[in-house]
Amino acid sequence: MTRSLVIATLLAAPLLAADPPAAPAEDLLRFTNGNQIDGRFAGMDPAGTITWTRPDVATPMPFQRDKIRQIVLRHAKPLSPLTDPCHVTLVNGDRIPGKVIAADERSFTLETSAAGTLELPRDAVSVIAPHPFGGRLIYAGPFDAKGWNIVRSDAPVFDDLFAGNLAAGRAVPKREAKDGKEEERPTWTHTGASWYSRGGQDAITLDAGMPDRSLLRFKLGWRSRPNIAIAFHADLQIPEVKEKEKDGEDAQPAPPNFGGMQNLARLFGSGYVLNFQSGYVHLQRTGFDEEGNPQVERVRVGSTTVRLNDTGEAIFEIRCDRREGTIAVHVDGEFAIQWSTAEDGADAGTRRDSYQAPGGGLGFQVQGSASEVRISEVVVAEWNGMTDSARSMESETRDIVLLTNGTDRFSGKVLGIREGHLEIEASYAPLKIPLAEVAEVHFAREGRRKDSEAAASEITVHLQPVGRISGVPLSAADGRIQLDTRLAGKIDLDLAPAVVLEFQSAGGFLDAWDDAP
């Protein structure tokens, strides 16, 4: 029966319209061989059989879970996204969204909107984040392609490319098909909760509304050593090039040169762009002169070396402050490099002008036709000004409490959480700190249990805007799923804030590219 169904690629899957539809969008089921089918996820039994329904098929269709890679719910649009990004991080990397309402030496009590009240063993928790990211969460994704644009390296933006609404005259870059004929295909594709590129010079951009003090975090995966440009605080505006006045009757205006690094301005407008190339990182300021010609200026710094494996993945974090003129990069929680855009002797009143990045947009461009990358787990948030790396906020023997003001921290032994206050035995005296003033608590590594190996039958549920819960599925029906988790026991989870059910999460990120469109 399934052979008679049209199995399309994710590229052809329609996106949600700008206005919310009257009924939820259809779900999308991706098989391990790269095929997919739309319809509705109707549940799962204890034996692992997934039930799938379609309006054009009379009876529900059963599928075995070992053939399923991923189910995208409602085209990655939650019925009710979580309104608060506070969460608890477990030692296996799971992030359970919710508020810690009580804690003692043995356990944490977590109040969640999706799974009720949970009791977590203390040694299973690595971090609690009452006010994460250092400030207000602005964007988390990309669970869908909404808001993103693909920009040609030599052409204007593709509007709503994945909805099939290409503007007239805006061609997609051509690729050679298997039969030798050229076919139109973008160099970036959105699948599940990630952007994939198999190389090319095009860019993806998002007008994210980055504030003056911003934190941009993303996970980058690569098959070969990445050669990639990352734009931030970019205005994404491209002015028209003005023709120069003719000196003589036959004089012609000089053609603009948009090649090389100048092309970054044509892709991202005025802003800053980080280039990672062969283990080195460079920072450029992009903009335009009065005639509309692109300009790129390199911002100098001492050491520019960043060590990356030939194949792998890493969490990159860019912390930028328009007011102070500072830009810092962290890789996997470790400080890598920092720039200051202020001139020597400049005071705080002139540093804002020296930053010269007026926008709130971000973007990515893979430089070179051979590079293959994946962009996922993109977070944009207000930054509280804390320059330390995440690793520096961890200790082998002491708990570290970071406050929301971005400067104060305490170390010692967290005794508990009671009546909205965190109690800590600090170096000099016991303290009670209101939870409203706590950004994150990183618990001593010596007190954490060792994570056990994930079962082959484990799946991962991704929630919007922040949340990841993994476990062995026991059953699913009526918009809920029951998971047997390694660290938190059995959880009955509401799927209303969920966007992706990942069935092959233990296979490694490179496997997901074997069937990427």
pLDDT of residue 116: 92
In the chain, pLDDT over 90 holds for what percent of residues? 29
Residue 6 has pLDDT above 50, yes or no: no
Residue 255 has pLDDT above 70, yes or no: no
Interatomic CA distance for residues 9 and 67, integer angstroms: 17
Residue 76 has pLDDT above 90, yes or no: no
Average pLDDT over every residue of 280-298: 84
How would residue 370 be classed by pLDDT, with cut points 50, 70 and 90? Answer: low
Interatomic CA distance for residues 99 and 109, integer angstroms: 8
Residue 18 has pLDDT above 80, yes or no: no
**DSSP codes joined into one string, 203-263:** EEEEE----SEEEEEEEEEESSS-EEEEEEEE----PPPPPPPPSSTT--PPPP---GGGH
pLDDT in tens, 414-467: 999 998 999 999 878 888 999 888 888 999 999 998 888 888 889 999 988 888
Interatomic CA distance for residues 155 and 168, integer angstroms: 13
3-state secondary structure of 478: coil
pTM for this prediction: 0.70
Residue 249 has pLDDT above 90, yes or no: no
More confident residue, 40 or 277: 40
pLDDT of residue 507: 39
**CATH placement of domain 98-132+394-447:** 2.30.30
pLDDT of residue 170: 33
Q: Which of 1-10, 55-64, 453-462 has the lowest mean pLDDT?
A: 1-10
Residue 159 has pLDDT above 50, yes or no: no
Tell which CATH architecture fits domain 139-242+257-382: Sandwich (2.60)
Interatomic CA distance for residues 36 and 515, integer angstroms: 11
For the chain, the structural domain boundaries read 2-77+457-486+493-513, 98-132+394-447, 139-242+257-382
In the chain, pLDDT over 70 holds for what percent of residues? 75
